[in-house]
Structure 1
Amino acid sequence: MKKLLLILLLVPFMFACSQGDTASQPTQAEAIHEHDRCHLCGMMITKYPGPKAQLRLKGETIVPKFCSTRDMFNFALQPENKRQITHLKVHDMSVTDWESPDDSAFVDAESAWYVYGTSRKAVMGPAVASFASKEGATQFATEFGGAVLTYEQITIGLLAGE
């Protein structure tokens, strides 16, 4: 009887430990500081214009941050990285300044809309401009050119110019 009672007492603890790291990870974006460097290319993030990005990885406390949404996609679309990502954030460029995006303007990257092929430049060439709404992306594309795409339509081939 003691063994059964002990097992019944331990069961809730076992379930608590097996919930995984994603439940305890915050989904809010972290601030990008003046000396933060891009997780992919190592460039100083705040020195350059255009939308920035960040993500969270399973079991990690460090938040990889990116100097551009292009770098975020180049990292996130790699098969070995894709399955480790729990959250992705990008700037909503319809509510923040292109030259210096504000940390309060981060939105969920997978539900965001993107403008690819715009005349606006970011860190290393053409930007992949991010927006919370299709309307914001369409308005930007009308003014600066480019194609309005969903998260799923951005591929490594597209980023490579194929």
Structure 2
Amino acid sequence: MRRPLLAAALTALLGLSGCGDEGQAPPPKPYAMTESAIGHYCGMNVLEHPGPKGQISLASNPEPIWFSSARDAVAFTMLPEEPKDVAAIFVSDMAKAASWESPGEENWVDAKQAFYVIGSAMRGGMGAEETVPFSDQASARKFAEENGGKIVGFADIPRDYVLGAATGGSEPNGESVPNTDGTTH
């Protein structure tokens, strides 16, 4: 009697071990940037701004959230008041961009796989410091040699670089905020 019970228990456990895999949806694919892409923070058409852009897909919303800069997309993931059900983050692949002014409508790279140049001379769509994304490290290195800056991964982008220092800095959309001494940064 023990063997049939043990066999039934093992069969049930093996059957359950495969559960949960069938119901997982594949991650969303990036959308092409069009005239209808409006920046989440600035409320402006993202095509009207130079430099890399970003888009985030949430599990709770099938439409992407657009950003006029890659930096703003990174900021979204750091801000406590923003939704946390992020399904995918894509940023412009500047290795495939025609130019800084025309970053491309369909050349996206998974933000967590990209190489970023931070601290370069180039400014993002709203005039703030940019996190310039590339799909390959060689292109990021070439950009950094020409424009300054250093190469980091998504997880290594400093919070202060994106959100500004605790005592003042730039908002995600590039607007200045006051420092503790009354000046702006």
Q: Would you identify which runs of 4 or more consecutive aligned residues in structure 1 move more than 4 Å?
A: none
- Give 1 or 2: higher strand fraction: 1
Structure 1 residues 4-153: aligned runs within 5 Å: 19=23, 23=25, 27-81=28-82, 83-97=84-98, 98-125=100-127, 126-153=129-156
Could you tell me how far apart the structure 1 residues matched to 2:141 and 2:90 are?
Answer: 20
Contact 1:40 1:75 in 2 (8 A): no
What 5-or-longer segments of structure 1 have no aligned partner? 1-14
Higher relative contact order (CA 8 A, sep 6+): 1
Contact 1:29 1:103 in 2 (8 A): no
Range with bigger deviation, 134-143 or 75-84: 75-84
TM-score in terms of structure 1 length? 0.79
- Structure 1 residues 157 and 82, CA, compared in 2 at 3 Å: closer, same or farther? farther
Displacement after TM superposition at 1:90 (Å): 0.8
Q: Larger radius of gyration, structure 1 or 2? A: 2
Could you tell me how far apart the structure 2 residues matched to 1:101 and 1:28 are?
Answer: 18
Contact 2:52 2:125 in 1 (8 A): no
Displacement after TM superposition at 1:64 (Å): 0.5
Aligned to 1:8: none
CA RMSD of aligned residues (A): 2.1
Give, as a single letter, the amino acid of the residue that structure 1 aligns with 2:77.
A
TM-score in terms of structure 2 length? 0.70
Aligned to 1:4: none
- Give 1 or 2: higher helix fraction: 1
Could you tell me how far apart the structure 1 residues matched to 2:79 and 2:162 are?
Answer: 12
Give percent identity, aligned residues only: 32
Give, as a single letter, the amino acid of the residue that structure 1 aligns with 2:147.
F
Q: How many residues align?
A: 144
Displacement after TM superposition at 1:41 (Å): 2.3
Aligned to 1:5: none
